[in-house]
Structure 1
Amino acid sequence: MNTDTLPAARSFTHSMVVIHRGLRRESRVLAELVGATRPGDVRRAGAIAAHLSDYLVGLHNHHHGEDELIWPTLLSRVDLDADIVLRMEAQHAKVAATIERLRGLVGPWTRSADAAARDALAAALAEHRAVLVEHLDDEEAHLLPLAERHLTEAEWNAQGDHFAEHTPKTKLLTLLGVVLEDATPQERTEILAGLPAPARAVWRLYGARHHARRMRRLREDVRTSRTGTALAALTGVGITYVGLSYLLDPMGTAPGFGLPAWPEGDAAAWLNLKGVRDLATGLTVFALLAAGRREALGWVMLAFATIPAGDMLTIFAHRGSTATALGVHGLTSAAVLASGLLLVRAARRR
């Protein structure tokens, strides 16, 4: 066997790099979400504040495990490198101070959602992120190599049990999702392998989908997305109905299209082809709705808007019903286009 093709064994401290990746992302995204919240939107503020609370609990308990289990053990075994551990302790204190400031600011903002409270919280989150990222960078560069030399894998992994013991069970799935979200497939496999079998089963059967839905709702403009989704759903229902009508009663349905004439006899098979096209269009909308792929649905709706627009222009070109061209096909194209724009815009504002 060619050993050059085998992946290099990871250090037992690599899990910390994956955890830090999630903390960096959430500290950035939370600041963006708070800053983008419209004044007076108490519901949106409450949703973001709930996730901020979970994030702060996770970060506090993560650092508490290091304070209790890692720093004392390292200080008892190192000499010249003790300054690294002492620096980690000092950085934890700075991060803890920013956490307390955030907890003091999030309550007033949640109750009022006014611009001043929002801006104060966003500024505090930016300060928190700066202090946190400085610590995470320093820890990865200097503390992890030190831990690899002076701690056993079992001593290092004791942090996981400490975290699970001190974190409310209702928050564990959310915080696991935060860690796994940007993990590579190999990292995800390794982290899940370290969990008890029941925990792995709960994550795979429920937790992963729950976390994805929660983050999707949190990071998108919910009201804009709901409007776009409603328009898409109505479009899906409408076009599916039209498609079935052309398949079941083509000659009875065709006059409503707006053209001055339509195929008859064997040529009426073209009406069935239109029915298949419309039915497939509606089913595509429902498939993307069911999968929760709002951004993909938005782009598809933008593409689908060309269908009724083309139908409208075809009616004009053949001197059909102007009222039907504008009132049915034109309005349908505008609604589909609006749905696509709203869904894409909402996704881009995550």
Structure 2
Amino acid sequence: MSPSFSGLPSGHQTMLLAHRAMVNDLPRIAGAASRLAESPNTARAAALSGYIDRVHTLIVHHHGGEDGFLWPRLRSLGADESAIVLLTGEHEELDKFLADWSRVARELGTDGGVAAELARITTDVHARIVAHTEDEESELLARLAPVLDDAVWKGFETHMRKTAPLWTLRFMPAWLLSVAAPDELGGVPALPIARLFRGWLARAQRAALG
């Protein structure tokens, strides 16, 4: 049986919430893009483009932290190499689709064709993110588990905090809080900040996603 959410190190909990936030947002973004394809709206297009830029940055930073810190650290501790190869390979493949997604989002305006393309590629990115996060969460509890301990997770948390763009300090905690159950708040970093900015995030999401 997998350990309960609350029994996991805080860094592991935060990772699970980040995965959930990504998986939760992408269909909403695809839906907003589809509606723009049918009914162009300059203000909504600008808000959606800006919101995608933030979510894209968070996903890229998340993967960069794993590739630049977590996987090398686990490899140095003797982690199962095949598990690391699997996950890094999935990141490399995802990077191509994330780059296209970001590019199309930046082109979003009053052209319904661009919005339709954004909806299509967002749906594709969502399917790939779902598959990858399922693999990653499984490997963290299976082949990678023997070398994962509190010190590794604490180091990963510190690395992610130090390398995050400054604006994420108000967006990321509120973003994770928006998908956390009441008994999962241990995975929300800077919980007071998350609560302070959750209204701001909700307004940004309404502007972008409807």
TM-score by length of 2: 0.87
Distance 1:170 1:47, change over 3 A: same
Report the counterpart of residue 165 of structure 1 in structure 2.
162
Query: 1:88 deviation in Å?
Result: 0.2
Tell me how many residue pairs correspond in the alignment.
Answer: 204
Query: 1:71 deviation in Å?
Result: 0.9
CA distance in 2: counterparts of 1:15 and 1:166, whole angstroms: 16
Report the counterpart of residue 214 of structure 1 in structure 2.
204
Distance 1:86 1:171, change over 3 A: same
* Pick aligned residue for 2:183 from 179, 186, 193: 186
Q: Any unmatched runs of 5+ in structure 2? A: none
Where does structure 1 differ by over 6 angstroms across 4 or more consecutive aligned residues?
A: none
Report the counterpart of residue 25 of structure 1 in structure 2.
24
CA distance in 2: counterparts of 1:8 and 1:35, whole angstroms: 35
Distance 1:36 1:191, change over 3 A: same
**What amino acid maps onto 1:34 in structure 2?**
A
Superposed CA deviations along residues 96-135 of structure 1, whole A, max 9, x for unmatched, are 11111112212222xx321111111111111111111110
Contact 1:55 1:175 in 2 (8 A): no
Contact 2:67 2:88 in 1 (8 A): yes
CA distance in 1: counterparts of 2:5 and 2:34, whole angstroms: 42
Secondary structure of the structure 1 residue equivalent to 2:142: helix
Secondary structure of the structure 2 residue equivalent to 1:169: coil
CA distance in 2: counterparts of 1:103 and 1:216, whole angstroms: 20
Distance 1:14 1:168, change over 3 A: closer
Report the counterpart of residue 49 of structure 1 in structure 2.
49
Report the counterpart of residue 65 of structure 1 in structure 2.
65
Report the counterpart of residue 251 of structure 1 in structure 2.
none
Report the counterpart of residue 93 of structure 1 in structure 2.
92
**What amino acid maps onto 1:218 in structure 2?**
A
Contact 1:18 1:183 in 2 (8 A): yes
Task: Say which structure, 1 or 2, has more relative contact order (CA 8 Å, 6+ apart).
Answer: 2
Secondary structure of the structure 1 residue equivalent to 2:77: coil
Q: Any unmatched runs of 5+ in structure 1? A: 1-6, 221-350
CA distance in 2: counterparts of 1:185 and 1:219, whole angstroms: 24
RMSD of aligned residue pairs (Cα, Å): 2.1
